[in-house]
Structure 1
Amino acid sequence: MSVSLVKEQILDFLKSEEPQVLVIQGRWGVGKTHVWKDSIEESKAKVPQKKYSYVSLFGLKSVDDIKRTVFENSTDPKVLGENNDLESIKKNYKALGKQYGRKSSNIVKDLSGAGANFVLKGLGSSVDKVFDSVATALLTETLICFDDIERHSKSVSLRDFLGLVSFLKEQKKCKIVILLNEDSHDLEEYQQYKEKVVDKQLHYEPSAEYCFDISTKLYTKANDDYLEQIKAVCERLDIRNIRVLKKIRMHIDTALSVTTDYDEYIKEEIIQSIIILCWCHYCHSSDKDKIPSLTFVKKLNETYADADTLAIAAMIEEEKEGQKTRSIIWKDKLNSLNYPSYDPIVQILLDSIEKGYIEKDNLVAICDAKQNEINIRNQATGLDAAWELYHGSFSDNANEVVDAFVKGMTEAAETSTLSQYSQGLSLLKTLKQDDKATEMIRLYISRNEKNRERLNVESSDFNFFGIEDQEFSDALTKAFEKSEQQETPEQILTRLSDKQSYDRKNVAQLAALSSDELKRLFLSFDGKELTQKIRACLMLAGSNEELMNNTKKALLEIGALSDLNKARLSKFNL
């Protein structure tokens, strides 16, 4: 049933004076509560009932609790949308006090404030019964909305709840709407007794576009720069759960807040990945046959880390025939969405979605490396052209592809990352060009002998995404060790003063210094590089407790030499 038709039916219900029960049924999170509250807000002047009460069954442990809550939440429908909750409660308890006073004049004075419920509950079971009977008596001709039916307490059966609904309609002349989640697995009693209680049932099934627009109105903090892209992907996945859509916007906003300066390609990949991962994480339970689980996606990523093939990933689930079929369906769906399982950005986002928050520092580190590769690719036009030639046709042009890669890798030997260069080597070996691959390895090492850091397989600046080719990795390690020279501590800190990565051997060398030696070293620094060198030492100390303790001790002793030095050291947050 369309949204407009559902709203028409709700309006007819709201205008009616006749006691009746209306059920609005729909999938979890599609906005049943929103469409109801929106409708009554728009039409409150047309409601003939003098009292309205909205009640969530969540946490209510008995039928008496439900009746009490209906009473306490009662308000004049004409003032819906105004901040008058406290006044409504006081008004309800004053009315209760008048009724109760006829039964027990001794404690009427306790009923003048909003805390009367607590007073009465403390006076004993007999008083509680009087309270419940009087509160129930005041529920006549009330418009009531019951929400969160599927979250009812186990101590309240749906049979008992529907019995109360029937009582309120038949005996108290109330008009009642029930908001029902059709995805709930605990509706047997409802199905059994609904014909005796429910007068009309509406099926609320808004489009994904409508749900997205509603979520946009409800999540006002959203960055709308990429709204159309976000909307297009969400609609393609048919995401209608408004809560999930709001979570998607929240995660995207958080991620984009720290990635504003990166290439558009990176930001678009982040948006696409967050939507797909949230869809898997939050929506899988609603359609397990068609929506992949996050567990499947994690295994898919792990599989890609070892072998870049979807054929293997498709069979990673349990060895049941039905499960295999489901895995293939999931894999095909992810393929159709261009889901980049192999990308490190996806792994960071996957872990973040699973934890419920974006790990900003890790995301920035990955994006820095990704941006570096994009910058290098934009410079290394020959290598980029080789990949375009490889991917661009099904022609039998292996020799042309090999020549293009040899040319491109020769051009990029002093600019590409180890990861990028390694990918070219792997392709040459796939095309049975092992000799040419070995030749390219020798070329890379000879070109970078004077730039020792470009031979370092542990450098996150040049090898953030890892090396696929083992021959290349072994050759780099050998060349790096061969060129090793014992640097002084100051030379190490000077070299690392403008970098974000380091060798473990550097840490060990600095950790061998005492606090007094570090103090003398720091005091020897001068000029604008002083701060950078000390920050480099603190960076190294982050992975070694002894070095951190000695570094802090040395700096604190320097700070104790004078108030001026103490002020100078404040920037290090010791």
Structure 2
Amino acid sequence: MSTAVVRAEIERFIQSSAPEVLCISGQWGVGKTYSWQTFLKEAERVGRVGLSRYAYVSLFGLTSLGELRNAIVENTVNKGSSSVPDASSLHEIIRKGETFARKSRPALEIAAGFFRMKDAGDALYREAFLTVRNQLICFDDLERAGKALEMRDILGLTSMLREQRHCKVVLLLNKEQTKPEEAKELQRQLEKVVDTFLLFEPTSAEAAAIAIVGTDPVAEKLRDRLVALGVTNMRVMKKIERWARLIETEVVGVETEVVEQAVVTVVLAGWCFLQPDLAPGLDFVREFNSTTGLFRREDEPEERKKWREILSKYGYRTTDELDAAIIDGVAIGYFRGDDLRAAAQALGERLKRNRRKDSFSLAWELFHSSLTTDDDVILDAMVAGAMENLGEISPVNMNSGVRFLRRYGREAQASELVVKYIDANRSKPDFFSKWNRFFHDDPVDEELLAAMEAERTAIVDARDPAEMLKQMARTSGYNPDEDSARLSRLTADELVQLFDGNAADDVKGMMEWADRLASHPGALGMRASLDEALARIAARSPMRADRLRSWGVLPANEKPDGPDADPAASEDAAADAAAVTAAANNDVPTENDGGEEKPK
């Protein structure tokens, strides 16, 4: 049923004062509640509500008719049908209930005796419920009522409110969520009570028009992109809109194109996160590039092919720093403002530099969109475009270009392009140390991979070993492969100098992390060099050896030897190592042979 028909029937229902029951059914999240409340507010704004009092009641968790009646009382408002109930509105309806009760005191006293109502509060609520008449009532979440509150009881109360209290009642429910054995009985009961049935299943465009209001650029872009993905769940739409507005406040003042890209990405990421059964995972989006995987799609699983096609039709090309910051924010539940602003500003600067389409992008467009252009023309355009934009092309896109040229026989030009690309970007900070973070499992051209890795290795080898170990001790963070490879290049002499050249407060942590890295498979000869360096330091004195044992970097049974060994060192140092270790670590006191407690 189209949204226009549903809207027209709801508007007719709201404007009329005749008692009747309207049932609106639809799946969770399609916007039944939101649409009802929106249409009601619009009718109230233009003065077209047929009744003066209104109550909205969610049955979620209610367990008895008594609770349901009380909820109607608590949520009834008198001033404006969509006003928010509060203590004042509750006081007013209870006061009216008391007035009504005084006029019918004999009947109420008999009823009170029959029901044995001892609680004054309960009596007040029952008196107040007597005033519920000639009003509009919305029962929401019928299928989520407590187990003790049966559907027949709810519909019985609904019928009573219509027949005896002259009320208008709208029922909002998702019939598909009822148990199969209860579905037929529910339908039978509904047919007895309900005057009008509406099935609410809006199209994506209809849902977006209701959920996303406004004519500003962000609202327009949100509606357009939600429809492009076919999203119909209004709850999802509203959450995505909230994220989009948060991002909008963080990137205020940047280029319009930056804001538009942010909206495109947050809609896609939000859809993937909130509707995982219908969308690809966030990792797929984070890794996606429309040009990578171009020549291996026959090997892809069918599901990945489907997601790739959806993202390509959506217009998502690749994940840059701004996209990554947005995807991360959706995944963890909040956005890091500093990261968003930095990425947005960087993208804005790139857009200013590239206001016109660069020749490399035009070459790709020529490949994707033209069947009449000669192959050599496209390949020449690819080479020329890449050469003209060496400093602006990302490693991911350069990889696609190089592999494209090799596929169609331009081996020499592809290799030349790799060399010039490395030269053009060598002076950029962090360019090579972070170059591969968006490649993931996509194939990388062997020459490009080797060249980029060589540059990255040179950066890794230039790091100061002492600062590396200090940083590990401070943060407990490290890269096992890179860090162990760097430290494996140190000789025993260099390790001794490294430990001797730093303050005592740092050395313990440095040794512990060096020992941990020496156990890594990629450490190569580091284990032998480190053991030799520690043995030399331990050989300087028994106290140094005991201290290293207490730190856990020197085996307890290892005797110090070497040119620096102290000839007067005790032969039972190894036997005392455990005691010294415990004392150094503030463990339980140990005793000497004389039974006296050793000092800690």
What TM-score results when the alignment is normalised by the length of structure 1?
0.63
1:459 — aligned with what? 433
Q: Is the 8 A contact 2:94 2:124 kept in 1?
A: no
CA distance in 2, matches of 1:420, 1:73: 59
2:169 — aligned with what? 176
CA distance in 2, matches of 1:488, 1:284: 45
Out of 302, 308, 313, which is 1:315 matched to? 302
Aligned-pair CA distance for 1:29 = 0.9
CA distance in 1, matches of 2:322, 2:201: 35
2:579 — aligned with what? none
Q: Is the 8 A contact 1:258 1:360 kept in 2?
A: yes
Q: Give per-residue Cα distances to partners, 1:420-443, cap 9 Å, x unaligned.
A: 544433222222333443344444
2:246 — aligned with what? 254
| Pair 1:471-2:473 in alignment | no
Out of 267, 271, 279, which is 1:293 matched to? 279
Instruction: Summarize the Cα distance change of 1:366–1:185 in structure 2 as closer, same or farther, 3 Å threshold.
Output: farther
Aligned-pair CA distance for 1:57 = 1.5
Out of 400, 415, 418, which is 1:438 matched to? 415
SS for the counterpart of 1:339 is coil
Q: Give per-residue Cα distances to partners, 1:497-522, cap 9 Å, x unaligned.
A: xxxxxx988x999x99868999xxxx
CA distance in 2, matches of 1:253, 1:192: 45
1:59 — aligned with what? 61
1:194 — aligned with what? 190
Q: Is the 8 A contact 1:441 1:472 kept in 2?
A: yes
1:272 — aligned with what? 264
CA distance in 1, matches of 2:280, 2:343: 21
SS for the counterpart of 1:155 is coil
Instruction: Summarize the Cα distance change of 1:18–1:261 in structure 2 as closer, same or farther, 3 Å threshold.
Output: closer
1:116 — aligned with what? none
Instruction: Summarize the Cα distance change of 1:38–1:299 in structure 2 as closer, same or farther, 3 Å threshold.
Output: same
SS for the counterpart of 1:53 is strand
1:90 — aligned with what? 91
Instruction: Summarize the Cα distance change of 1:177–1:339 in structure 2 as closer, same or farther, 3 Å threshold.
Output: same
| Pair 1:336-2:303 in alignment | no
Describe how 1:142-153 pairs up with structure 2 within 5 A. Answer: 142-153=135-146
Q: Is the 8 A contact 2:96 2:128 kept in 1?
A: no
Q: Give per-residue Cα distances to partners, 1:247-272, cap 9 Å, x unaligned.
A: 23222223333445655554433322
Aligned-pair CA distance for 1:147 = 2.1
SS for the counterpart of 1:23 is strand
> Which amino acid is 2:444 matched to?
E
Q: Is the 8 A contact 1:380 1:415 kept in 2?
A: no
Instruction: Summarize the Cα distance change of 1:300–1:465 in structure 2 as closer, same or farther, 3 Å threshold.
Output: closer
Q: Give per-residue Cα distances to partners, 1:30-64, cap 9 Å, x unaligned.
A: 5332245236625767636x654322212322211
Aligned-pair CA distance for 1:284 = 6.8
Instruction: Summarize the Cα distance change of 1:43–1:170 in structure 2 as closer, same or farther, 3 Å threshold.
Output: farther
Q: Is the 8 A contact 2:212 2:223 kept in 1?
A: no
Q: Is the 8 A contact 1:64 1:132 kept in 2?
A: no
CA distance in 1, matches of 2:219, 2:426: 46
Describe how 1:48-127 pairs up with structure 2 within 5 A. Answer: 51-76=53-78, 79-80=80-81, 85-97=86-98, 99=101, 102=105
1:24 — aligned with what? 24
Aligned CA-pair RMSD: 5.1
- Greater Rg by CA: 2
Aligned-pair CA distance for 1:137 = 3.4
Q: Is the 8 A contact 1:211 1:240 kept in 2?
A: yes
Out of 41, 44, 47, which is 1:41 matched to? 44
Describe how 1:388-537 pairs up with structure 2 within 5 A. Answer: 390-391=367-368, 393-394=370-371, 397-412=374-389, 418-444=395-421, 447=423, 453=427, 458-460=432-434, 465=438, 468-478=444-454
CA distance in 2, matches of 1:414, 1:310: 29
Instruction: Summarize the Cα distance change of 1:24–1:258 in structure 2 as closer, same or farther, 3 Å threshold.
Output: same
Q: Give per-residue Cα distances to partners, 1:72-127, cap 9 Å, x unaligned.
A: 33333x54456773332112222444538958999xxxxxxxxxxxxxxxx98666
CA distance in 2, matches of 1:192, 1:381: 66
List gaps (5 residues or longer) in structure 1: 107-122, 286-291, 318-326, 490-502, 519-574
CA distance in 2, matches of 1:481, 1:355: 32
Q: Give per-residue Cα distances to partners, 1:202-228, cap 9 Å, x unaligned.
A: 4456665554444344xxxx7923443
2:589 — aligned with what? none
Instruction: Summarize the Cα distance change of 1:215–1:204 in structure 2 as closer, same or farther, 3 Å threshold.
Output: same
Aligned-pair CA distance for 1:418 = 4.6
Out of 237, 245, 264, which is 1:245 matched to? 237
| Pair 1:162-2:120 in alignment | no
Q: Is the 8 A contact 1:263 1:371 kept in 2?
A: yes
CA distance in 2, matches of 1:262, 1:312: 41
Q: Which stretch of structure 1 is more off in the superposition, 308-317 or 174-183?
A: 308-317
2:211 — aligned with what? 215
1:528 — aligned with what? none
SS for the counterpart of 1:156 is coil
Q: Give per-residue Cα distances to partners, 1:132-165, cap 9 Å, x unaligned.
A: 6544434344432222323322332222211221
CA distance in 1, matches of 2:15, 2:240: 38
Q: Which stretch of structure 1 is more off in the superposition, 346-355 or 52-61?
A: 346-355
Q: Give per-residue Cα distances to partners, 1:358-407, cap 9 Å, x unaligned.
A: 44444456556656766776799564565455445335744444444444
SS for the counterpart of 2:76 is coil
CA distance in 2, matches of 1:23, 1:82: 22
SS for the counterpart of 2:371 is coil
What TM-score results when the alignment is normalised by the length of structure 2?
0.61
List gaps (5 residues or longer) in structure 2: 110-115, 466-478, 491-497, 507-600
Q: Is the 8 A contact 1:141 1:172 kept in 2?
A: yes
Q: Is the 8 A contact 2:286 2:327 kept in 1?
A: no
SS for the counterpart of 1:145 is strand
SS for the counterpart of 1:472 is helix
2:556 — aligned with what? none
SS for the counterpart of 1:41 is helix
Q: Give per-residue Cα distances to partners, 1:441-491, cap 9 Å, x unaligned.
A: 44455x46xx8545976434x7775693332232344467679997999xx
> Which amino acid is 1:200 matched to?
T
CA distance in 1, matches of 2:128, 2:409: 86
- What percent of counterpart residues are identical? 25
SS for the counterpart of 2:93 is helix
| Pair 1:224-2:211 in alignment | no
Aligned-pair CA distance for 1:197 = 1.2
Aligned-pair CA distance for 1:66 = 0.3
CA distance in 2, matches of 1:254, 1:51: 36
Instruction: Summarize the Cα distance change of 1:435–1:166 in structure 2 as closer, same or farther, 3 Å threshold.
Output: same
Aligned-pair CA distance for 1:316 = 3.8
> Which amino acid is 1:197 matched to?
V
